[in-house]
Amino acid sequence: MPALHSLAQRCKRFSPLLAVPAALLLAQGEAKALLTYYISENAGNVEVKAVGSLLLPNSVGSLACNIVPGGAIVSSVAVVCTGPDGNMNLYNIQGPSSFNGTVNTFSTNSVSGIPSAISAGGTPPVFGIDPGYTPGTPISSTATFNSTTLAGIGFTTTGLLGTWTLQPKDGSDPYTANDTVQVVIGAPPPASVPGPLPLLGAGAAFGWARRLRKRTQLP
């Protein structure tokens, strides 16, 4: 009995160490209700890339960007369009009605992905996305302006230009998420890859548990 009691105390002391690596691994897989439009220079062009995912409230209507092939940036009314021209479900947003710069360009050379847009200076201010988008999945949508620079199209600053939050349609909308849309002047970060430390920590914890069992087995 004293041996069993000692074993229980030792396992109790190390159980938090076993839980930490698992918690770190779970945290890496958590989805973020955030969509960021990154606007950056790439190979002599200006590229707008939508990165992230959203959970989405009930839509308030539908509308097409009405721009061929589909991309646009207008800083005075906080408009960014990416992806091909096409119908989009609209969602109410709240945030600034303009952002820094004098950009007023519709001369997109190429687009890819699904239609998406923010139009924060309109009445009402809205965010739009392809009706076929599945909430919570990664969003892929781009627009490229060839042979130009950020300064060439009218941007004067870098970093975060604005943040907008999606709003529920009305009091009957069960939406409780805090979806956020951002516009950033800068390249998107590299795709995140799980680091070695949590994995090594999990392996070390598993190895310790096996050694502990072997050393404390009763005859």
| Structure confidence at residue 166 (pLDDT) | 97
**126 contacts 93 by C-beta, under 8 angstroms:** yes
**182 contacts 37 by C-beta, under 8 angstroms:** yes
- Tell me if 89 is assigned to some domain: yes
| Structure confidence at residue 183 (pLDDT) | 98
The whole-model pTM stands at 0.74
- Tell me if 106 is assigned to some domain: yes
| Structure confidence at residue 191 (pLDDT) | 73
- Tell me if 46 is assigned to some domain: yes
Q: Mark the ranges of the chain whose per-residue pLDDT is less than 50.
A: 1-31, 192-216, 218-219
| Structure confidence at residue 62 (pLDDT) | 92
Handedness of CA 15, 16, 21, 23 (dihedral sign): positive
Q: Specify which residues 184 forms β-bridges with.
A: 38, 160
- Tell me if 110 is assigned to some domain: yes
- Tell me if 212 is assigned to some domain: no
**Considering its fold, how many domains does the chain have in total?**
1
Question: Per residue, what are the HEC states of the chain?
Answer: CHHHHHHHHHHHHHHHHHHHHHHHHHHHCCCCCEEEEEEEEECCEEEEEEEEECCCCCCCEEEECCCCCCCEEEHHHCEEEECCCCEEEEEEEECCCCCCCCCEECCCCEEEECCEEEECCCCCCEEEECCCCCCCCCCCEEEEECCCCHHHHCCCCCEEEEEEEECCCCCCCCCCCCCEEEEEECCCCCCCCCCHHHHHHHHHHHHHHHHHHHHHCCC
| Structure confidence at residue 33 (pLDDT) | 84
pLDDT, tens only, 92-121: 999 999 999 999 998 789 999 999 999 999
The domain in which residue 71 lies consists of 34-185
- Tell me if 68 is assigned to some domain: yes
| Structure confidence at residue 29 (pLDDT) | 38
Rounded to the nearest integer, the mean pLDDT of the chain is 79
